[in-house]
Amino acid sequence: MEIEFQRVGKKYESGQEALSQVSFHLQQGEMAFLTGHSGAGKSTLMKLMMMIERQTSGQILVDGVDLRTLSRRAIPHHRRRVGVVFQNHQLLLDRSVFHNVALPLQVSGADSQQIAKRVRAALDKVGLLDKEKYNPMALSGGEQQRVGIARAVVNKPQLLLADEPTGNLDPKLSAEIMNLFQEFNRVGVTVLVASHDLALVARMRHRVLTLSQGRMVNDGGFA
Ligand SMILES: Nc1ncnc2c1ncn2[C@@H]1O[C@H](COP(=O)(O)OP(=O)(O)OP(=O)(O)O)[C@@H](O)[C@H]1O
């Protein structure tokens, strides 16, 4: 998926200006990091990409299409093309690993055979095939985060967004999670990872976008 922001602004109804004049272009198949202090606008930028929030100025083009021109019916389709990973992984603790990963497929109405096949393929990619029957509470923090990643990729998204995906993990586990994102990127998925771990971001040697108080202050160089 190709993403282009053209002088995008987002002012919340509270009057808070979360993003201002943000422009950048993510090529199809590119991987980049998004850094910036707490409150700089990283989550807001990702919410605009998922159409959870709407920009108040500027244009967002996805594969050349202005998101504002999408009909209400086209929004679920757009969201299925975007996989999202959160820091607190938001797993359902009363369901097995399998069922957590299956959720996005059930929402989109796939049949159970198809679901089982896709869920196992996703769990295999994150190295958790043997844990499908476990309750997420019985897994380590790193494993829980990998379940969150499997759930994000089970729909085979063309864009993978991760908001502070390594926030609670130690450096070794963080590096493993980043390597997983890199593997998805290698097979053609566009990947954007928000992280304030500058040391980790620098080691990954990808493009770095930096937000400061809602403005894009750096684009391109390594952190
Ligand atoms: N729903 C909302 N209503 C009003 N203001 C909001 C809302 N969401 C975010 N903001 C404000 O917009 C600004 C940017 O927030 P955002 O969550 O995008 O930053 P962030 O870089 O992701 O920060 P963090 O790393 O702490 O998550 C902040 O000042 C925040 O308080």
Q: Is 136 in the pocket of ligand 1 (CB under 6 A)?
A: no
The ipTM is 0.94
Q: Is 16 in the pocket of ligand 1 (CB under 6 A)?
A: yes
Cα-to-centroid distance, 131 and ligand 1 (Å) = 35
Residue 65 lies in a domain: yes
Domain that holds residue 33: 1-80+192-223
Strands 17-26 vs 65-66: parallel, antiparallel or unpaired: unpaired
Residue 170 lies in a domain: no
Q: Which atom of ligand 1 is nearest to the CA of 17?
A: 12
- How confident is the model over 20-58, as pLDDT tens digits? 999 999 999 999 999 999 999 999 999 999 999 999 999
Q: What pLDDT score does 220 carry?
A: 73
- The answer to whether 164 and 196 are in contact (CB under 8 A) is yes
- The answer to whether 161 and 192 are in contact (CB under 8 A) is yes
Residue 63 lies in a domain: yes
Looking at ligand 1, which residue's alpha carbon is closest to its atom 4?
A: 12
Residue 30 maps to which CATH number? 3.40.50.300
Residue indicated by tokens 């093309």: 81
Residue 106 lies in a domain: no
Q: Which atom of ligand 1 is nearest to the CA of 16?
A: 5
- The answer to whether 136 and 97 are in contact (CB under 8 A) is yes
Cα-to-centroid distance, 194 and ligand 1 (Å) = 13
Strands 207-212 vs 31-35: parallel, antiparallel or unpaired: parallel
Q: Over its length of 223 residues, how does the chain's per-residue pLDDT go in tens digits?
A: 999 999 999 999 999 999 999 999 999 999 999 999 999 999 999 999 999 999 999 999 999 999 999 999 999 999 999 999 987 768 999 999 999 999 989 887 789 999 999 999 999 999 999 999 999 999 998 999 999 999 999 999 999 999 999 887 888 889 999 999 999 999 999 999 999 888 889 988 899 999 999 999 987 765 4
pTM of the model: 0.92
Residue 24 lies in a domain: yes
Cα-to-centroid distance, 43 and ligand 1 (Å) = 7
Residue 41 lies in a domain: yes
Identity of the amino acid at 189: V
Q: Is 158 in the pocket of ligand 1 (CB under 6 A)?
A: no
Residue 108 lies in a domain: no
Least Cα distance to 26 among 43, 6, 53, 51 occurs for 6
Say how far residue 163 (Cα) sits from the centre of its chain: 6
Cα-to-centroid distance, 201 and ligand 1 (Å) = 21
Residue 169 lies in a domain: no
Counted domains in the chain: 1
Q: Which atom of ligand 1 is nearest to the CA of 211?
A: 21
DSSP state of 35: E
Cα-to-centroid distance, 12 and ligand 1 (Å) = 9
Q: What pLDDT score does 223 carry?
A: 47
What's the burial of 146, exposed, middle or buried (CB within 10 Å: 0-12/13-18/19+)? Answer: buried
